[in-house]
Amino acid sequence: MNPDWWRGAVIYQVYPRSFQDSDGDGVGDLAGLTSRLDYVAALGVDAIWLSPVFTSPMADMGYDVADYRDIDPVFGTLDDFDRLIARAHALGLKVIIDQVINHSSDQHPWFVESRASRDNPRADWYVWADPRPDGTPPNNWQSLFGGPAWTWDAHRRQYYLHNFLSAQPDLNFHNPAVQEAVLDVLRFWLDRGVDGFRLDTVNFYFHDRQLRDNPPRDTGPGTAPWPDLRPFDMQYSLYQKSRPENLAFLQRIRALMDEYDDRTLVGEVGEMHEAIALMGSYTSGGRLHMAYAFEMLGDRLSPAHVRACIEGFFAGAPQGWPCWAFSNHDVHRHVTRWVALGADSDSLARLCAALLVSLQGSLCLYQGEELGQVQARLDRDELVDPQGIAFWPEDFGRDGCRTPMVWDHAASQGGFTTGRPWLPVKPAQLAHAADLQTSPDSVLATYRALLALRRDSADLRLGATTFLEVPEPVLAFRRGAGTLCVFNLSPDPQQVTLAGLGRVLARQAAEVAGQTLALGPSGYLIAAPA
């Protein structure tokens, strides 16, 4: 047993709908995923994280749960889930599952009962509020998917809160019965053998009891001359989320986890304001084991930004622990987001692989990232994501990063399914099929080699970070006892002088001459201490 296995671990995120279909219905499933676990284990990761597979009407692709204790038939059965757990454990892989407990589906029996009357046993399990005298919602809170965060229910003659879709009503965590019910759900899956949870929107659980209006977001020089795409982003969500009451509940979840051996919690911190500080708070004081925010999932990638994230986190929370990711199911793939920084797509993918495995913290690797997969460009009539549909064409939504895994470039639908896939497989994705990546310098081979390097290096897994003073666009730091990591975050050649370059462990477009390191476009060097 190793209770700290998660510290410095690499977690592979699986989006089950898009990983492998076993029955030809065009949707990935648990049996298909189980058949591909050998591939995942061969990457050299420590764990897999499954996006939701629970019973759901799929208004938000499973992030609207109608039964927290069962598997949706499109993915299989509880028996299929048990077989997946058993096979993963046999391969040495831990299994982390999504828990979407901030909100449920409006078809969950809890909400069906809650909306039935104002005096039933679950009447206060969700966030209900009376209208203002003029009939408008109780405050100015906005939904992330556009429009007010309140929907009128004619039967109760009240509004209910939903930070996301109106089909995703928020649970009322101020109610102790709700907390107990959620803890029972977590206990159900822990007893079934899962190794941990990824907690969706972990800072949204509690809201301001007084339902005070959010203040407007600070504006000033350099701000956009027109409103943000989402009204939600025009406010500082001071009263809508990230409330202090959340901390005590996270401690309750952690206490439950500590009743079991070797389990872990990773939380998604959705915050625009001081996200790094919130990550630190949530992973200190007996709360989450680790947390991630969107700080490295955006458009910025510069030496200054990476340094600010790492130094800012550990300065503010020396006992906390971060989890870093460059891509996931909610953002455009990083090879596409950061394309201007690289020599070419594959070189940039290899550079990002080297940077990711060098970061202090735990890591999340999103399916297809290890293939250098790019963002798919879908037509309007191909979208299923409610975000993309709501904001098209200003925002193409999240479907482009959720298209199926491509295993065989010559097979129908890339080997993902024998039927019609739920999202299309495009030529740009076929070009990054797994079966094409057989050369030693392929993106897949590079990921395998770099993950092995991290696994075998105490410096890269757990060592502290010391940043070196070099001019941008070069990023340089040492980990632990001195492992050197240098990256050229640009498409132009760079040259730096560094003492103690040491023995080369991994490199791309990098030449050493004495104390001079010449880095080509997207070049990097990882070297053992001199």
Active site residues: 200, 259
Is the CB of residue 104 less than 8 Å from the CB of residue 65? yes
363 strand-pairing partners: 10, 324
What backbone phi and psi angles, to 5 degrees, belong to 79?
Answer: -65, -40
Which residue carries 């800072």 as its tokens? 203
**At residue 277, what is the residue type?**
A
E-strand ranges in 335-418 read 362-366
CA pair distance 250, 267, nearest whole angstrom: 10
The owner of tokens 């939903």 is 162
CB 52 within 8 A of CB 100: yes
Q: Computed from CA positions of residues 42, 45, 47, 50, in that sequence, does the dihedral angle turn out positive or negative?
A: negative
Side chain identity, residue 124: D
Task: Kindly state the helix (H) or strand (E) to which residue 353 belongs, with its residue range.
Answer: helix 345-358
Whole-number Å distance between alpha carbons of 386 and 270: 18
Please tell me what DSSP assigns to residue 235.
B
Fill in the amino acid letter for 207: H
Closest by Cα among 509, 362, 374, 368 to 444? 368
The strand pairing partners of 519, in sequence order, are 494, 510
Taking alpha carbons only, the member of 96, 84, 18 closest to residue 367 is 18
Q: Cβ distance 317 to 291 under 8 Å?
A: no
CB-based burial label for 79 (10 Å; 0-12, 13-18, 19+): exposed
The helix (run of H) or strand (run of E) holding residue 39 is: helix 37-43
